[in-house]
């Protein structure tokens, strides 16, 4: 009979002694990595409260009466509310029109062929940057878009800074406040 050969030798007790702490160290490293993913982008300080976003004319798109797309970023104009596309208003003769599209067209006329510079201060509930924006093009340099849209009567003031412009637009019958026109039903309560 041949002697039995052992293919597997049990390890000595010495290597097992370091196995527990090594596993604990590995798990601690994985946990620290996962915690780091949810932490701040700048661990030694807060992220900036204000940022400047800019886009040239080719990168700029009007999404809605109060929303712009600057390349891959979306900005909602801060301090105002414009009607959504598809929201209807009535002209003096009773004919309905899409006042949301009218508001978007007014914003498009303000930025036509120009770049935009926005100072971002926070985010809205959808994660869009809230910005105070102005044109930065060859024509009409520096038109402040937020106030201009309210002044033209195509948006409501959601901020006390724009209340005088809204009052003037209502009084003079501009934009959605055109004489005899009825603004969207949601705006009726604000009169």
Residue 21 has pLDDT above 60, yes or no: yes
> How far is the C-alpha of 68 from the C-alpha of 139, rounded, in Å?
19
Q: pLDDT tens digits for 142-189?
A: 899 999 999 999 999 988 999 999 999 989 989 888 866 766 766 655
Model pLDDT, residue 43: 45
Average pLDDT value for the chain = 80
Model pLDDT, residue 45: 44
Structural domains of the chain, ranges and CATH numbers in brackets:
50-188 (2.40.50.90)
42 pLDDT band, cuts 50/70/90, is very low
β-strands 73-77, 129-135 pairing: parallel
Torsion sign over Cα 70, 76, 81, 87: positive
pLDDT average, residue stretch 54-62: 94
Name the pTM for this structure: 0.69
> How far is the C-alpha of 96 from the C-alpha of 92, rounded, in Å?
9
Please state the separation of Cα 84 from the chain's center in Å. 16
23 against 147, higher pLDDT: 147
Model pLDDT, residue 32: 64
CA distances from 158 to 23, 131, 169, 187 (A): 56, 13, 15, 12
pLDDT average, residue stretch 23-40: 62
């Amino acid at each position: 009979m041949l002697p039995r050969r052992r293919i597997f030798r049990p390890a000595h007790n010495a290597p097992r002694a370091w196995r527990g702490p090594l596993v604990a160290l590995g798990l601690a490293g994985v946990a620290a990595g996962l915690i780091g993913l949810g932490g701040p982008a700048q661990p030694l300080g807060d992220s900036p409260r204000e940022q400047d976003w800019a886009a040239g004319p080719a990168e700029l798109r009007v999404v809605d009466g109060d929303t712009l797309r600057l390349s891959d970023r979306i900005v909602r104009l801060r301090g105002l509310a414009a009607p959504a596309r598809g929201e209807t208003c009535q002209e003096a003769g009773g004919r309905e029109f899409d006042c949301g599209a009218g508001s978007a067209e007014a914003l498009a006329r303000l930025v036509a062929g120009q770049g935009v510079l926005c100072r971002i201060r926070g985010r809205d509930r959808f994660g869009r940057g809230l910005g105070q924006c102005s044109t930065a093009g060859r024509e009409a340099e520096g038109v402040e878009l937020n106030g201009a849209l309210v002044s033209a009567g195509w948006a409501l003031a959601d901020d006390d800074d724009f209340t005088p412009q809204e009052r003037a637009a209502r009084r003079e019958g501009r934009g959605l406040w055109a004489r005899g026109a009825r603004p969207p039903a949601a705006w009726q309560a604000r009169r």
